[in-house]
């Protein structure tokens, strides 16, 4: 398979899965295993194309970010609360990421970890859907400080590949009483600092593995992930507001079980 086609496929996978509760990292790892790619060669590429998906959030929610930014200059309560909630949810991942970065990278090499994490996470989503009692929150700025801190702590579970950052944050928010729509949007907004920080850190650590021949492929993958993520984010909030997250849970369980079986038999 040509490098260009590989870049397009991985870009589609990243854009489709980054903001859904199914684990983009897990799918990218399984894709490299299933299609026979050199996982080590494409691991840095998978990180480098994340800004494409991140930009989809910026484009779709630019007004929200702009209003919050402008509101900070006049210390507007809503803008301060919005920024505070994102920052306190972001810091736990920073601390654990810096402390256990090498151990986390070792997990990224294990497709078996991904497969089992998909299954366990699927049942976790079903449990939250059944037992959580979220109430209308009125938006991210109206989330409490405690809710934001707890979501930030739960997000750290996504350092295990296959858990899903979006799944952990959305389900964590709902478990602590946040409604589906606000939980999904908080997950999108939290992706901006979290994924940007993780991408910058990993590219800095692996800068020696990048060469000019890869820049074109990275550009293609990032562009594809941006376009796909735009479509996914637009439809996701509307869908889960009406139907919930159970379909994503069952998808995780089926894919995870299939991956476990395939990895055991190959």
| Percent of all residues in the chain with a pLDDT value above 70, rounded to a whole number | 96
Once rounded to an integer, what is the mean pLDDT over residues 71-94? 96
| Percent of all residues in the chain with a pLDDT value above 90, rounded to a whole number | 64
Where is average pLDDT lowest: 67-71, 191-195, 223-227, 248-252? 191-195
CA distance 110 to 202: 18
Of the chain, the end-to-end C-alpha distance in Å amounts to: 21
CB 191 within 8 A of CB 18: yes
Predicted local distance difference test score (pLDDT) of residue 204: 85
Residue 108 has pLDDT above 80, yes or no: no
40 pLDDT tier (thresholds 50, 70, 90): low
Q: What Å distances lie between residue 68 and 25, 80, 91, CA to CA? A: 30, 8, 19
Predicted local distance difference test score (pLDDT) of residue 264: 92
CA distance 75 to 69: 10
Predicted local distance difference test score (pLDDT) of residue 97: 80
Predicted local distance difference test score (pLDDT) of residue 36: 74
Extract the tokens encoding 21: 């509760």
Once rounded to an integer, what is the mean pLDDT over residues 81-101? 90
CA distance 266 to 24: 23
Residue 32 has pLDDT above 90, yes or no: no
Predicted local distance difference test score (pLDDT) of residue 120: 97
Once rounded to an integer, what is the mean pLDDT over residues 246-264? 96
Residue 56 has pLDDT above 90, yes or no: yes
If you average pLDDT over every residue of the chain, what do you get? 90
Tens-place pLDDT, residues 126-141: 999 999 988 888 899 9
Predicted local distance difference test score (pLDDT) of residue 266: 78
Residue 165 has pLDDT above 90, yes or no: yes
Residue 1 has pLDDT above 90, yes or no: no
Tens-place pLDDT, residues 171-224: 999 999 999 999 999 999 999 999 898 888 878 887 777 777 778 999 999 999
Once rounded to an integer, what is the mean pLDDT over residues 16-25? 92
């Amino acid at each position: 398979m040509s490098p260009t086609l590989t870049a397009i496929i991985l870009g589609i996978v990243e854009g489709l899965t980054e903001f859904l509760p199914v684990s983009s990292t897990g799918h990218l790892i399984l894709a490299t295993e299933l299609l026979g790619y050199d996982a080590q060669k494409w691991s840095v590429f998978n990180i480098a194309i994340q800004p494409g998906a991140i930009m989809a959030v910026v484009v779709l929610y630019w007004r929200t970010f702009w209003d919050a930014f402008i509101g900070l200059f006049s210390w507007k309560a809503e803008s301060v609360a919005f920024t505070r909630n994102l920052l306190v949810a972001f810091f736990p991942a920073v601390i654990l990421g810096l402390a256990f970065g090498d151990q986390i990278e070792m997990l990224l090499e294990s497709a078996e970890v991904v497969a089992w994490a998909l299954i366990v996470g699927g049942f976790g989503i079903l449990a939250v859907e059944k037992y959580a009692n979220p109430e209308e929150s009125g938006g991210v700025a109206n989330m409490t400080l405690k809710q934001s801190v707890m979501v930030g702590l739960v997000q750290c579970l996504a350092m295990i590949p296959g858990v899903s950052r979006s799944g952990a944050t959305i389900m964590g928010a709902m478990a602590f009483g946040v409604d589906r729509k606000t939980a999904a949007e908080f997950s999108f907004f939290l992706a901006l600092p979290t994924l940007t920080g993780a991408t910058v850190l990993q590219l800095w650590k692996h800068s020696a593995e990048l060469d000019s021949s890869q820049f074109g492929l990275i550009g293609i993958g990032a562009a594809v992930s941006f376009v796909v993520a735009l479509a996914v984010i637009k439809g996701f909030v509307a869908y889960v507001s009406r139907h919930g997250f159970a379909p994503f849970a069952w998808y995780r369980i089926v894919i995870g079980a299939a991956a476990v079986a395939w990895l055991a038999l190959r």
